[in-house]
């Protein structure tokens, strides 16, 4: 999968897309895109007139032929835009299919022995043994054993993941490999319905349906097409009435130029590329609607642990007891942590270094390190000098000091209680018979989240943190992280109620989760992002699955959804704005010979009526492939409020959509007019 992410468009994709562009000329495929189907019918009409111009009493076979060729190119370019977008999805699907080999499975019998069968023969409920080097044959839940599983085939990450029975890390995905130990897996999906099968189907676009916004925009484009069709049909008798003879090919050219062919040709590719961008970000969207909903999110509900905070308790402060200097307290705290490889020990060293304190580890090479155990609830060092230094739970260290004949400082309980009230963990530090102070361990907020939450706020998105912590701890973390609101002592049903409350107010809600208890809330949310490391129930309830199991990715997925909507809006604006320039190119050309006053509208100074029409038609065709990179990559998205985004896109794609055609048509006319003169047109 990694290789498929590195290249944007490969030569093979281009070759396949060119081939598919012609295959899609089948009327059954063309009718799926009403706007381009009108251009398709127009091409057939001009092709017939090229072969038999006498049907309508015309002799402009060459002119009709040129119009037909340009219309053909327009349709092929539109098909190419869709095919290249589909090609990127197919490339990813091929990479996923490569993991689906003719896998064998060790099906366990009731007596404990097993028989080797093809994975395709497995049924839901079967139990299989997967040992070192074996590929997990299908989706399932670990019911016995513990093993390291390489999920690189799915996630692209080479680091193995520990899988064990129970909890949120019991689900396994077919196509991944056990790299050590063994597990027994109960199969939870039927053949052909595994998570990997669904991924392949979705990535290929086989299951893609038009989203509500896409359907609405398609209806708008159809309405505009019908309006312009009525206008063109009405124009013919009006022109005859004023003595202007209009050729059928010219009317077809005008219709194709005025209907929104640009966005009509790119609309499907924009939707496909939106899902593709999410997939390349290692998130599988179960539908295009889910991606689109991300762009409309108003409220984001986030778990605290693992999403907003690291989940590990890290050293945040050193608090000496009365009569002890902070320097002395830090010194002994660092000595106890020199050989402590736990997150608590490492963070104690790092905090001390930040405060300017260092301990030479070489001095303590021969010291005895006392590891933390559940029985002693402490760890530390026994120095060669006979000194014993400990850090650990308050009760354990108080007992240690008393055994050595020491006294408990009067302010120790207050310091321990203060840290506990904040939701932190107090580690008391002592040497022999003396307590020196308390290390404040806290669940640390991930760096950069304050800025990201500020960006979400500017975009009009409200952030709500859910945590099982007490209100005081929740308030502290919420303030530090910069979220807008929080729910303390939160239970699974509280998440559902919070989501429903926001939805009743007309809000679009997003949330992340990985456990079975998160499944109801994931199903209730408009955008539910489940972790791939989570349970089967969570993944089935959500409409998106993060293969990297990074809860903070919901922040980026929302950005991708907004980019999809902005791209569609920007290119629609550009397409409609194009019509202004094409109007000034074609309308004067049609009438200025019979009505000289129309020459005033020829603001571009185009050489002749025929060159004006052909130049506008050529521009209309080539603008589609020129916009394909924007459709595939998306308009660059910057977090800002909706009003600023609207003004920015109107100024760039609205004004640009008017100016670019004026320049483009004039340049094409400059090239085309001499050629038309040579062939007598």
Does 98 count as an annotated binding residue?
A: no
Q: How far apart are CA 417 and CA 423, in angstroms?
A: 10
Helix H or strand E encompassing 452:
helix 449-458
First and final CA of the chain: distance in angstroms?
Answer: 54
Does 102 count as an annotated binding residue?
A: no
Q: How far apart are CA 654 and CA 657, in angstroms?
A: 5
| Residue 288: closest CA among 219, 202, 350, 372 | 202
Residues in contact with 485: Cβ distance below 8 Å, sequence separation at least 6, in sequence order: 462, 463, 464, 465, 478
Does 373 count as an annotated binding residue?
A: yes
Q: Report how far Cα 44 is from the mean position of its chain's Cα atoms.
A: 41
Active-site choice (20, 303, 443, 669) = 303
Q: How far apart are CA 105 and CA 101, in angstroms?
A: 12
Q: What DSSP character marks residue 245?
A: P
Which residue blocks in 592-654 are alpha helix, DSSP H? 609-633, 642-649
Q: How many beta carbons lie within 10 A of that of residue 319, not counting itself? A: 18
Helix H or strand E encompassing 421:
helix 412-421
Does 193 count as an annotated binding residue?
A: no
Does 376 count as an annotated binding residue?
A: yes
Maximum distance among all alpha carbons in the chain?
Answer: 118
Does 337 count as an annotated binding residue?
A: no
Strand pairing category for 114-118 and 161-163: unpaired
Strand partners, 315: 441
Q: How far apart are CA 380 and CA 340, in angstroms?
A: 8
Q: Output the CA–CA distances (angstroms, integers) from residue 330 to 326, 364, 394, 661, in the order listed.
A: 6, 16, 17, 70
Does 374 count as an annotated binding residue?
A: yes
Does 197 count as an annotated binding residue?
A: no
Q: How far apart are CA 412 and CA 410, in angstroms?
A: 6
Does 379 count as an annotated binding residue?
A: yes
CA dihedral 41, 44, 46, 50 (to 10 degrees): -170
Q: Quick check: is 303 catalytic?
A: yes
Q: How far apart are CA 197 and CA 523, in angstroms?
A: 21
Does 372 count as an annotated binding residue?
A: yes
Question: Is 337 within 8 Å of 361 (Cβ atoms)?
Answer: no
Strand partners, 301: 464, 511
Q: How far apart are CA 230 and CA 233, in angstroms?
A: 5
Does 97 count as an annotated binding residue?
A: no
Which residues are annotated binding-site positions for Mg(2+)? Answer: 514, 518
User: Which segments are annotated as binding site for ATP?
Assistant: 340, 344, 372-379, 391
Binding-site annotation, residues: 340, 344, 372-379, 391, 514, 518
Q: What residues are labeled active site?
A: 303
């Amino acid at each position: 999968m990694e290789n498929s992410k590195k290249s944007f468009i490969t030569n093979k994709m281009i070759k396949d897309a060119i081939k598919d562009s012609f295959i899609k000329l089948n009327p059954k495929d063309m009718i799926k895109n009403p706007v381009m189907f009108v251009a398709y019918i127009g091409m057939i009409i001009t092709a017939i007139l090229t072969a038999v111009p006498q049907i309508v009493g015309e002799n402009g076979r060459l002119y009709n032929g040129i119009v037909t060729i340009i219309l053909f190119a327009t349709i092929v370019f539109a098909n190419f835009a869709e095919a290249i977008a589909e090609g990127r999805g197919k490339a990813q699907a091929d990479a996923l299919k490569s993991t689906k080999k003719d896998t064998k499975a060790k099906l366990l019998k009731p007596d404990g022995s097993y028989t080797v069968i093809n994975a395709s023969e497995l049924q839901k409920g079967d139990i299989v043994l997967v040992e070192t080097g074996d590929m997990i044959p299908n989706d399932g839940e670990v019911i016995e054993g513990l093993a390291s599983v390489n999920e690189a085939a799915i996630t692209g990450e080479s680091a193995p993941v520990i899988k064990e029975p129970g909890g949120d890390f019991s689900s396994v995905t077919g196509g991944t490999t056990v790299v050590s130990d063994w597990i027994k897996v109960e199969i939870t999906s039927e053949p052909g319905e595994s998570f990997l099968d669904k991924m392949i189907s979705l990535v290929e676009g086989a299951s893609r349906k038009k989203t509500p916004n896409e359907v609405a925009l398609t209806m708008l484009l159809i309405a505009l097409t019908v309006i312009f069709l009525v206008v063109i049909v009405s124009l013919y008798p009006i022109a005859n009435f004023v003595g202007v003879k209009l050729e059928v090919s010219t009317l077809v050219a005008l219709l194709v130029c005025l209907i929104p062919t640009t966005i009509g040709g790119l609309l499907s590719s924009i939707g496909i590329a939106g899902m593709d961008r999410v997939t390349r970000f290692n998130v599988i969207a179960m539908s295009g609607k889910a991606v689109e909903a991300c762009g409309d999110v108003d409220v984001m509900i986030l778990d605290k642990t693992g999403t907003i905070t690291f989940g590990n308790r890290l050293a945040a402060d050193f608090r000496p007891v009365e009569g002890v200097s902070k320097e002395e307290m830090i010194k002994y705290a660092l000595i106890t942590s020199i050989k402590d490889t736990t997150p608590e020990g490492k963070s104690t060293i790092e905090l001390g270094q930040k405060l300017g304190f260092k301990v030479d580890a070489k001095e303590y090479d021969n010291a005895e390190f006392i590891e933390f155990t559940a029985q002693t609830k402490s760890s530390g060092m026994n120095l060669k000098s006979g000194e014993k230094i400990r850090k650990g739970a308050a009760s354990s260290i108080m007992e240690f000091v008393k055994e050595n004949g020491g006294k408990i400082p009067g302010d120790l309980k207050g310091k321990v209680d203060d840290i506990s009230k904040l939701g932190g963990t107090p580690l008391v530090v002592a040497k022999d018979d003396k307590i020196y102070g308390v290390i404040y361990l806290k669940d640390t907020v991930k760096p950069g989240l304050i800025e990201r939450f500020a960006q979400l706020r500017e975009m009009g998105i409200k952030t709500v943190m859910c945590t099982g912590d007490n209100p005081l701890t929740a308030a502290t973390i919420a303030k530090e992280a910069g979220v807008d609101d929080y729910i303390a002592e939160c239970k699974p049903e509280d998440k559902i109620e919070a989501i429903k409350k926001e939805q009743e107010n007309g809000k679009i809600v997003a949330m992340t989760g990985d456990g079975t208890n998160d499944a109801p809330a994931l199903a209730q949310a408009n955008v539910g992002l489940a972790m791939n490391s989570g349970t089967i129930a969570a993944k089935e309830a959500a409409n998106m699955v993060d293969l990297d199991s990074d809860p903070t990715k919901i922040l980026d997925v929302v950005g991708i959804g907004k980019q999809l909507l902005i791209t569609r809006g920007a290119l629609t604006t550009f397409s409609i704005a194009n019509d202004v320039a094409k109007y000034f190119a074609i309308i004067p050309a049609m009438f200025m010979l019979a009505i000289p006053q129309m020459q005033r509208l020829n603001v571009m100074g185009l050489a002749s009526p025929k060159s004006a029409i052909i130049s506008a038609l050529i521009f209309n065709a080539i603008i589609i492939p020129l916009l394909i990179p924007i459709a595939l990559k998306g308009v660059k998205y910057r977090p800002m409020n909706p009003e600023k985004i609207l003004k920015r896109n109107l100024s760039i794609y609205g004004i640009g959509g008017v100016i670019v055609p004026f320049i483009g048509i004039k340049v094409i006319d400059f090239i085309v007019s001499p050629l038309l003169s040579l062939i007598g047109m």
